[in-house]
Amino acid sequence: MRVTTAEEMRNLDRETIEVLGIPGIVLMENAARGVVSVIYDKVEGNSVVVVCGKGNNGGDGLAIARNLYNLGYDVEVVLTAEIEELKGDARTNAEVLSRLPVPVHVVKDSTRLVEFYSLLKEADFVVDAIFGTGLSKPVEGFYRDLIEVINKANKTVVSVDIPSGLSSDTGEIIGTHIIANITVTFGFPKIAHIMPPACYYVGELFVVDISIPEDIPFLLGPQRYILTFDEVAFTYPIREIMSHKYTYGHVAVIGGSAGKTGAPCMTAEAALRTGAGLSTVIVPASLNTIFEVKLTETMSIPIPDAGRGYFGIDTLDRVVETVEKGKFSAVILGPGLGNEPETFEFARKVIKEVTRPLVIDADGINAIAEAPEILKTKKQEIIITPHIGEFSRLTGLSKEEILKSPHEKAKEFAQKFGVTVVLKSGRTVVATPDGKVYINVIGNPGMATAGTGDVLSGIIGALLGMGVEAEDAAKFGVFLHALAGDIGAKELSQESLKACDIIDFLPEAVKKIKEREINPAKHREPFVTNMREIVGV
């Protein structure tokens, strides 16, 4: 499912109304009926105050009030403008409502807020239809006071399209805003619905199909998506009866240094659990005994390192020769590599000289932080998997700048350097060289623990090694990793989850995906969907 900005959504609405000829008031009615459907199913109580602004969001609220009245709810409407001030479809809905026995209170300045608060205290819940997705600056004065009164009333709040006071185009908090229990948005989720910290105040999110035909977003919609099961289904190559271990790829993991032997081990183990036929760690020889003890199915190739415990430039030729002459189908560079200056030089030259599809992670990313142009010289597929700190070093942007719009910053880098970017955070983003962005909304805070990034690089490297294209390998890898993390957290708790647990739960996550592929749910296009239904697991 696509994720839109306010302007993108307006364009989709405009095309639907002006080109296809579906009247705007029909879209508004569909939106209202969707909100009422959610209220009927999810909200307890019978008395409601519907707070309406003077724009189209308020028009939605007026239509919602009418539909709730028709269902037998005790409805009071608060309007922040005189009916004569309303325009278009909002005015039409106000005039229709005025013919029904629904009280409408005009509250347009702070002198009426005590009366307004009294109404709220008598209600079971509140519908927030003050501002829609077009807001781009902080609310001030009367509207700020109005929102604060709603929040202080401590009632269940259902926000229409977006909690009033949030800007739909960013995860940033721009000022005072409604704290919603439920948000019902229209057509597609907006950036604020899924990106933190704004998403924390959305509550449970539902999306209503307001009858925008699929052809319109296909032609005009952004290439920005929520990462869902439909996006990753059938990524695995079919396993043929006469296949053998090399059919499913041989993944080389170049990494390891003194004190950091666990990282490449987890990466290699995750590659096997994901389905790679073979995995091998290429490591400094002075540490090889550790790897021989820790690893069973995974092989190791020791590279003489003069007893240093890390790769230096003198090990380059041997490593490159090992990779290029071996039967490796993908290479993962960086887990536990270390941050010695000569190790960084070694890593940069490895990137220049290897010809296999490449995943660059951890210290491999730090090694190119001062020279990312090296990525432009490569013809093979490359996936980089930085966390926010590594991406900051790589781009020269502050963490704060990145977190304002990680999806845009990842896309800009992917397009500039021709690589697939997996930007890891609470909302991991996959960005492709052709400008597509996928935002992952599953996973959990228990995964914020040492080694989970090493596991992710192993999963993605395994898929690359199987011959899966970089975009699909990154999307599926992120999704599978998060799903295994969710299964693990449910079983063990978020607090007790470790990176190796995610490896252990990969088989269950794989089974869950394969079962969905074999026995898909009956295809339907529901009128209203929640986020879990959208994601599909």
Q: Check: CB of residue 181 under 8 Å from CB of residue 204.
A: yes
pLDDT of residue 523: 45
Give Cβ neighbours of residue 405 (< 8 Å, ≥ 6 apart).
170, 171
Does 535 reside within a domain?
Answer: no
Residue 35, SS3 per DSSP: helix
- By C-alpha distance, which of 393, 388, 443 is closest to 410? 388
Give Cβ neighbours of residue 509 (< 8 Å, ≥ 6 apart).
480, 483, 484, 487
Quote the tokens at residue 32.
Answer: 């209202």
Looking up residue 70, the CATH number of its domain turns out to be 3.40.50.10260
Do 406 and 333 belong together in one domain? yes
pLDDT tens, residue by residue, 417-461: 999 999 999 999 999 999 999 999 999 999 999 999 999 999 999
Looking up residue 358, the CATH number of its domain turns out to be 3.40.1190.20
- State which residues form the domain around 209: 6-221
Do 188 and 274 belong together in one domain? no
pLDDT tens, residue by residue, 8-36: 999 999 999 999 999 999 999 999 999 99
Do 186 and 260 belong together in one domain? no
Does 399 reside within a domain?
Answer: yes
Does 494 reside within a domain?
Answer: no
d(CA 9, CA 416): 27
Q: Quote the number of domains for the chain.
A: 2
Do 288 and 212 belong together in one domain? no
Does 312 reside within a domain?
Answer: yes
Average pLDDT, the chain: 96
Residue 110, CA distances (Å) to 78, 83, 149, 456 in order:
13, 19, 10, 53
- By C-alpha distance, which of 276, 255, 319, 312 is closest to 453? 255
Do 10 and 144 belong together in one domain? yes
Do 58 and 107 belong together in one domain? yes
Do 73 and 210 belong together in one domain? yes
Burial class (CB in 10 A: 0-12, 13-18, 19+), 218: exposed
d(CA 140, CA 146): 10
Does 480 reside within a domain?
Answer: no
Q: Which residue, chain included where needed, has tokens 């700190």?
A: 389
Do 143 and 39 belong together in one domain? yes
> If pLDDT is split at 50, 70 and 90, which confidence band does 520 have?
low
pLDDT of residue 218: 84
Do 18 and 142 belong together in one domain? yes
Does 175 reside within a domain?
Answer: yes
Does 230 reside within a domain?
Answer: no
pLDDT of residue 525: 54
Do 108 and 190 belong together in one domain? yes
Does 126 reside within a domain?
Answer: yes
Do 330 and 458 belong together in one domain? yes
Q: Check: CB of residue 170 under 8 Å from CB of residue 136.
A: no
pLDDT tens, residue by residue, 156-195: 999 999 999 999 999 999 999 999 999 999 999 999 999 9
Give percent of the chain with pLDDT exceeding 70: 99
Q: Which 8-state DSSP code applies to residue 355?
A: -
Mean local confidence (pLDDT), 350-361? 97
> If pLDDT is split at 50, 70 and 90, which confidence band does 521 have?
low
DSSP strand E in 385-443: where? 420-423, 429-431, 437-439
Residue 38, CA distances (Å) to 31, 181, 511 in order:
11, 12, 32
Do 155 and 259 belong together in one domain? no
Amino acid letter for position 98: S
- By C-alpha distance, which of 50, 187, 46 is closest to 127? 50
